[in-house]
Structure 1
Amino acid sequence: MSTLFDLSFFVTVPFWALMILAPTWRWTRTIIGSPWITLVPLVIWAIVAVPVLGAMWSLVTSPSLPAITEAVADPAVLTALWAQIIAWDLFLGRWIYLDSRDRGIHPLLMAPLLVGTILLSPIAFPIYLIVREVAGRVPARGSSAPQEASIPA
């Protein structure tokens, strides 16, 4: 179980490395543009979660702190939970990366925010939302002027 626990993070490292270390490389956007990158840790989640699905189902349908505390003592449940967190962080980091590239936010500002998303996404995500607001509206492609929000008629 320890191997799958570790693997659930390590399979995401290449995607994080692309977003942080090679954000402007043309293949980075192509690779990160696919939501399928989150499938890798979710496969690990499925491998670990299927055998304990009954226990996990009762946790999500009738959650309580004592029940969750007891459940995470099971390495399989904890590993499944970890893989789910890792997949979610990657999905969130992917959105932050793509949004920041569309908005032209400098990669040197984004690198620490993406590292923060790996480590503590509940803190990094609101910080990114503030950066996003400060950065302003998305410029139109091929233009340096802010793009006006369009309201459908």
Structure 2
Amino acid sequence: MLGWLGLLTSLFVPIARDAVWRTTRLFIPALFGVAYVVLIWQGWSNAVGAGFGSIEQVRALFAVDAALVAGWLHYLAFDLFVGNWIIEDGLTRRINRFALIPCLGLTFLFGPAGLLLYLGLRLLPPQEAT
């Protein structure tokens, strides 16, 4: 949550942008990535019949709590990374900062839906800097 709050702050407080982007682009996703690797290893080694070859194998993998948390961290890391890209790219393209807020909210809650909304915004003509 703090990473997402930082991204919102970076939209309106340019002086905070560098530190926020470094944290949300590198540090937090890397931290989640390390935790993911440890947890997926634990989950995989404790799950009978686990894998990605069928829905039954995925269900068996996520029946183990460590693997389920790893899956959650996977979403958290990638969604935050995508949210960071949306902000950076949106500001570079001079997309209205207020228009980026719903994209971030959707990306936080429903990942690909927020990305899709943002990609739609990119199709609009650029505006003057806000």
Residue 59 (structure 1) aligned with residue 51 (structure 2): yes
Residue 104 of structure 1 corresponds to 94
Equivalent pairs: percent with the same residue? 23
Once structures 1 and 2 are overlaid, which stretch shifts more, 29-38 or 46-55? Answer: 46-55
Q: How many residues align?
A: 122
How far apart, in 2, do the equivalents of 1:86 and 1:122 lie? 12
TM-score, length-normalised on structure 1?
0.69
Unmatched 5+ stretches in structure 2 = none
TM-score, length-normalised on structure 2?
0.80
Unmatched 5+ stretches in structure 1 = 1-12, 145-153
Larger Rg: 1
Residue 15 (structure 1) aligned with residue 3 (structure 2): yes
Higher relative contact order (CA 8 A, sep 6+): 1
When the two chains are superposed, the root-mean-square deviation of aligned CA atoms in Å is 2.2
Moved beyond 4 Å, runs of 4+: none
Is the partner of 2:41 in helix, strand or coil? helix
Cα distance 1:32–1:113, how it changes in 2: closer, same or farther (>3 A)?
same
**Greater fraction helix:** 2
**In structure 1, what residue type is equivalent to 2:32?**
P
Cα distance 1:100–1:27, how it changes in 2: closer, same or farther (>3 A)?
same
**In structure 1, what residue type is equivalent to 2:111?**
S
How far apart, in 1, do the equivalents of 2:80 and 2:20 lie? 10
Give deviations 1:25-78, integer Å, cap 9, x for gaps.
1244213433313112223213322323445xx624xx2111101211111111
How far apart, in 2, do the equivalents of 1:76 and 1:46 lie? 10
How far apart, in 2, do the equivalents of 1:67 and 1:53 lie? 11
Residue 79 of structure 1 corresponds to 69
Tell me by how many angstroms 1:100 deviates: 0.6
How far apart, in 2, do the equivalents of 1:25 and 1:77 lie? 38
